A and B are shown apart, each in its own frame.
Chain A
Amino acid sequence: MPPKRTPKANEDTPSNRHIQEQADRPASPSAEDQEGQRKATIPPELLAKLLKNFMEDEGTKISGAATKTVGEYMHLFLTEAVYRAVSNRRDGDPWAKTNAGLMLEVDDLEKITPQLLLDF
C-alpha cells in the first residue's frame, strides 16, 4: 500500500529542512537512484500495455530494456512536472517560500505545461 498523504504531518516538519531540500533541488529528480530502490515507479507491465494501446500497428513489439527506459522517461516527466509547478509557484509568491504546506492546484500545472512539453 502507498503511504497516504497527511497534510497535517507535512506542516509540522521544521522549515529549515525544506530550505535544505531546495538547495538540493537541481539534482534531485535523479538523486533517488543512489538509494538503489525507488519508492514509486510505474510497473513495466503497465508501461507495455499503455504503449501497445496507443500503437497503430499490432505487430510492433517492445524490448524489456526499452520498456524500462520509457519508465524512466515518464518518471522524469512526471517528477519534473511537480518540481516545476512548485518552483513556479514559489517564484510568483514570495510568501510561499516560507509556507511548507503549499497546495498544488491545476493552475500551477497549466502554467508549466507548455515548456514541459517542449522539453520532453
Chain B
Amino acid sequence: MSAPDDAEQELTLHLTDYQRLKSALWYHVGKLVDAACLDLNVNATPQFIGSLTELAWVQFDNIAKDLENFAKHANRSTISTADVLLLARKNPDLHGLLQKVVDGEAAARAAKQAEKSKR
C-alpha cells in the first residue's frame, strides 16, 4: 500500500467514525427524549431530537476540553470525578445532584473493595 492510499483510508475512516459517533448519540438522545416525553405526556418532532443532538454534541465538545484542562491543571493525566464536579461549579443544584452520583459511586467501590478483602 502506498502512502497517499493510507492517508485517504485514514480520512474516510475518520469521517465514518465521526458519523457513527453522531448517529449513536442521536439514537440515545432520541431514547432519552422519548422517556422524558412519556413522563410529560407530550411528543417531540424528529427535528427537535436532531437539534437537541447537535446541542449535546457541542456540549460534549465543550466539556471534554474543560475536563482535559481541569485535569491538566491538577497535574493529572486522568480525569477524575473532582474534575466533573468542577464543571458544575456555577450551578449549586447541579453540583448537588452530581455530588450524589459521585458519593454513590465511591460507596459502591468501597463496598466492592471490602468484599474483596473479606475473601
Contact = CB atoms under 8 A, between A and B. Distances in A.
Contact of A105 (B21, B47, B55, B87): B47
By DSSP majority rule, is chain B's interface helix, strand, loop, or mixed? helix
B29 to A, nearest CB: 6
Contacts of A119: 91, 94
By DSSP majority rule, is chain A's interface helix, strand, loop, or mixed? helix
Contact of A61 (B47, B64, B77, B97): B77
Contacts of A73: 63, 84, 87-88, 94, 98
Contacts of B65: 54-56
Given A72-B97, A77-B56, A119-B91, A82 B64 contact: no
Interface string A65-79: 110111011111111
Nearest to B69: A56
The bracket for how many chain B residues form the interface is 35 or more
A62 B80 CA distance: 7
A66 B80 contact: yes
Interface residues of A, number: 63
B37 A40 contact: no
Contact of A100 (B29, B41, B98): B41
Contact of B37 (A54, A72, A82): A82
Contact of B32 (A53, A79, A104, A105): A79
A114 B80 CA distance: 28
B105 A65 contact: yes
B59 to A, nearest CB: 6
5 contacts: A21-B40, A43-B28, A51-B64, A65-B81, A108-B48
